[in-house]
Chain A
Amino acid sequence: MLDEKLLQERLNQFKPEPLVDFKHDPNKVYEIPAVVESDDVIDLAKTNFLGLLDNESIKKTAEETIRKYGVGTCGPRAFYGTTEVHLMLEEKLAEFFKTEECIVYSYGFVAISSAIAAYTNRKDIVFVDKEANFPIQQGLRVSRSRIVYFDHNDPESLLREAEKIKAEESKKKPTRKFLIVEGISWKTGKLCPLPRFIEVAEMFKMRIFLEESYSLGVLGDTEED
């Protein structure tokens, strides 16, 4: 039974905090606008590693794509939102990375966090670099896996942590394990010692997520980071 009196009393007592603890300041610039480049102004703030942002042939292709498919897809991939362009892109990417297949997402942040949450669940153990970027952290929070941190870019630290976990694990049914590393760290800009990480991961039968937001197209001679 609902205690009407108590409800009324507690409702009167209930003083919710404001929606956001924040006051808009009309004199403040909240967003720094894009830089317009000229002879005296060079924009070093953008990530434009290969100078493709202003490429005319890319613009032309974008125009042709809109003239055939329009701007939006009006639906998710499963519901007639997959166009030939997506298929072509995925095929080219798989060829470029020498993988069996590839899937593209429309938003970088969500690609990282969704992929992690799609494969990992609360029964798994995920080994993560201490300096892992924010999208990775978000993916892990959604997955609710057991998270084990190791020192930044240090495969030996990973080895120690993995051994600790192995010691406490039952021999019969090993837990599924994952390792998440970044090619170039968002936070420190350092390159990860991937070959050694792969060695350690194979020793403990971990599957590897490699996050290449900042290293793709930047490192390696042609196609390999």
Chain B
Amino acid sequence: MTQSLMMLLILSLFLGCACWLIFMWAVQKGEFNDVERPKHRMLDDDDVPPKQEKQ
């Protein structure tokens, strides 16, 4: 009983840590720098993107 409790506690801690690391990574990457533009981005019609079009 105490054994499995201990395991679960440690497991939950690891899960929390994983979330925390993802968050830190996101902050570091500047994911929260612009919260205005991304919501418009989904409205862009991204027709077949002609990557590296020759001018």
Chains A and B belong together in one complex = no
